[in-house]
Each structure stands twice: as structure tokens, then as C-alpha cells.
């Protein structure tokens, strides 16, 4: 038997008290401030192996819950997307030597190991032309299945390389067409890309029956046309336990500091671009988390 956890979004968002202790994560022009009503500073479980863990307070032995896909495990999904968004914003800010690339296949590929090997060969070819550069690679499933398996391609962020024509990149890739995009006009690359990579056009979604309740549909204007998107719809195609992104050694995760909220606000942060408040309830445990994000390029 597993403990149930309830996460509820709250609107409007409560103001953070001036003296409250907050976690501040600075990522170039993006700053995230997070307040947690209760902070756990000690480990509550100890991992025993891939399938079991022990609850330290009670000595109870429990089994990890495995899900068929990431969309079923919302907490894991949000944590993975947040880590990816932070990693992107800590390393990419729209400089001239940064660009976004999509690597596709002419024929359907359903084996994640194959696309990983193909990408490694692509990077080796690229390093023959450019010795030092860094990247984040993200495996993305298309909105359909082949013989019950997801069809894959890659999205990548590169830095340290002059912008390359898609034709040159396609020759180095060798498996299908390539799209590339400069990022100078995007001032919150992490949020832009994680939305791009997880939302899926409604017309491309082949597994509508897998959703329960109402589809989380939003309408966005793309190239002057309204397009209906299913929020996080693409994540249902990821196998459970798959690490859908990785990076080169030069990509660094951001660090965080704890301080009083009023101290954090003394530094110019730019415009408040998002604020959220969630309440987490699990058994007798109750917590409230407020998150603010600021962008120094907006005023």
C-alpha cells in the first residue's frame, strides 16, 4: 500500500513575508525565489536497491512505485522539467554562439539506444570541426506510436559554435533533415524550450484515450495562426525511468543560497514574470510552497 499525496495549486498567490527564509537560485538573467513553509533538512528514507527503500522514522520497508510513463508521475515530471529548465537558463542566455537544433530521422526509429549512439557519432563528427563546445541533448517522442513504441528524434542546445546552416548540420547528422534556430530573441530560454518540448499539437495526439477527465488544452498563436496544444501531452510517450536529457561536461547546474526574502529583493531582479503557490498534503504532512521567477532583461 502506498501513501497518497495531494498537490493543489492556489490562486491568487500569497505574498512572501519579508523575514521569511527563502532559497534563491540565480541563473544569468533569471532568478528563482522559493519559499517553503516546512523545510526537511534530514533524510527521511534510505534507498536499499532499485526496488526497495526503508522509512527511517519507522523502519518500515517499502517498494518504489513504478509507472508506465512520466505523465502518470506528476511529481517526477515536474522535478525533471524544473531541473532541465534551470540547467538551460544557467548556461544559455541567447548569445551569438548559442543555437537550438532539431535532429530528425527520415525513417521511424523506436529504439532510444539507437538514437543515443547516432547522436554520439554526430558529436564526434562535429568535434572534428569545432574542438570546444558544449551542449544539452533532449530526446523527444513524436505524438504517435509504431508497433506500440514511441518514435523518437532529438532536440539540442549548442554553445561555443558559430551558427551553422541546417544543410551543413544535416550532412554531419546523416539520418534526416535538421532544423536550427538562433536564440538571441528569447530571454527565458529554459521556459520557452521546456514548453516547446512537452506540449503537443492536439491534431498530432494519437493517445487521447489515455487521458482521464478534460484534456489540458491551451490555444497559442504560432506564426500568426492559432494552434491548440495539449499541455505536457508529449510526456505520456516517455518510458518510465528514462533520462530524457543529458549534457556535456562544460554544462553546469546552478547553485542556490538561503537568505531572508527582503535580503534577496535588495539585488535588482528585473520583472516578476511568474508566481505560483502549491499546497502539498500527504497523510499528516502539510506544506505550502511559493515560487517566484524574475527576469533581469524585462522591466
Per-residue model confidence (pLDDT) at position 100 = 94
Count the residues in the chain.
299
- CB 141, CB 152: distance < 8 Å: yes
Q: What is the pLDDT of residue 222?
A: 59
Report the alpha-carbon distance of residue 49 to residue 40 in Å, rounded. 23
- Successive 10-residue mean pLDDT values, the chain, 299 residues: 61 91 96 89 72 77 66 64 93 94 94 93 95 93 79 94 91 95 90 79 60 60 69 72 88 96 96 91 82 93
Other Cβ atoms less than 10 A from the Cβ of 263: the count is 14
CB proximity list for 218: less than 8 A, separation 6 or greater: 199, 228, 229, 231
User: Are 263 and 235 a contacting pair, CB within 8 Å?
Assistant: no
> For residue 40, what pLDDT is reported?
65
Residues whose CB is less than 8 angstroms from the CB of residue 298 and which lie 6 or more positions away in sequence, other chains included: 187, 270, 271, 273
| Backbone φ and ψ of 38, nearest 5° | -130, 130
For the stretch 54-105, pLDDT in tens is 877 777 888 876 665 544 555 676 778 889 999 999 999 999 999 999 999 9
Q: How far apart are CA 98 and CA 111, in angstroms?
A: 29
3-state helix, strand, coil in the chain (%, to 5): 25, 35, 40
> How many whole angstroms separate alpha carbon 120 and alpha carbon 112?
13
CA–CA separation, 217 and 180 (whole Å): 27
**Distances in whole angstroms, Cα of residue 271 to Cα of each of 27, 264, 266, 292:** 15, 14, 14, 10
Residues forming a β-bridge with 87 = none
Collapsed DSSP state (helix, strand, coil) of residue 78: helix
DSSP state of 14: P
Distances (CA, A) of 282 to 31, 141, 155, 271: 29, 32, 36, 34
Amino acid at each position: 500500500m502506498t501513501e497518497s499525496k495531494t498537490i493543489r495549486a492556489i490562486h491568487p498567490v500569497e505574498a512572501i513575508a519579508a523575514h521569511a527564509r527563502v532559497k534563491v537560485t540565480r541563473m544569468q538573467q533569471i532568478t528563482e525565489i522559493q519559499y517553503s513553509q516546512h523545510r526537511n533538512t534530514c533524510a527521511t528514507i534510505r534507498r536499499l536497491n532499485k526496488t526497495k527503500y526503508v522509512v527511517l522514522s519507522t523502519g518500515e520497508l517499502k517498494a518504489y512505485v513504478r509507472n508506465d510513463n512520466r505523465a502518470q508521475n506528476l511529481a517526477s515530471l515536474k522535478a525533471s522539467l524544473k531541473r532541465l529548465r534551470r540547467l538551460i537558463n544557467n548556461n544559455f542566455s541567447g548569445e551569438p554562439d548559442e543555437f537550438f537544433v532539431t535532429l530528425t530521422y527520415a525513417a521511424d526509429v523506436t529504439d532510444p539506444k539507437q538514437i543515443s549512439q547516432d547522436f554520439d557519432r554526430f558529436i564526434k563528427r562535429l568535434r572534428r570541426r569545432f574542438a570546444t563546445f558544449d551542449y544539452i541533448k533532449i530526446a523527444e517522442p513524436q505524438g504517435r506510436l509504431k508497433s506500440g513504441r514511441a518514435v523518437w528524434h532529438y532536440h539540442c542546445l549548442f554553445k561555443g559554435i558559430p551558427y551553422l546552416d541546417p544543410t551543413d548540420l544535416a550532412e554531419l547528422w546523416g539520418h534526416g533533415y535538421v532544423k536550427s534556430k538562433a536564440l538571441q530573441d528569447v530571454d527565458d530560454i529554459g521556459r520557452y524550450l521546456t514548453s516547446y518540448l512537452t506540449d503537443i499539437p492536439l491534431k498530432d495526439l494519437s493517445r487521447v484515450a489515455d487521458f482521464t477527465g478534460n484534456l489540458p488544452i491551451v490555444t497559442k498563436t504560432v506564426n500568426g495562426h492559432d494552434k491548440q496544444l495539449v499541455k505536457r501531452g508529449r510526456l505520456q510517450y516517455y518510458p518510465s525511468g528514462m533520462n530524457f536529457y543529458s549534457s556535456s561536461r562544460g554544462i553546469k547546474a546552478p547553485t542556490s543560497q538561503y537568505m531572508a526574502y527582503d535580503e534577496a529583493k535588495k539585488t535588482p531582479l528585473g520583472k516578476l514574470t511568474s508566481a505560483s503557490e502549491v499546497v502539498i498534503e500527504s497523510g499528516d504532512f502539510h506544506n505550502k510552497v511559493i515560487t517566484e521567477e524574475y527576469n533581469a532583461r524585462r522591466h
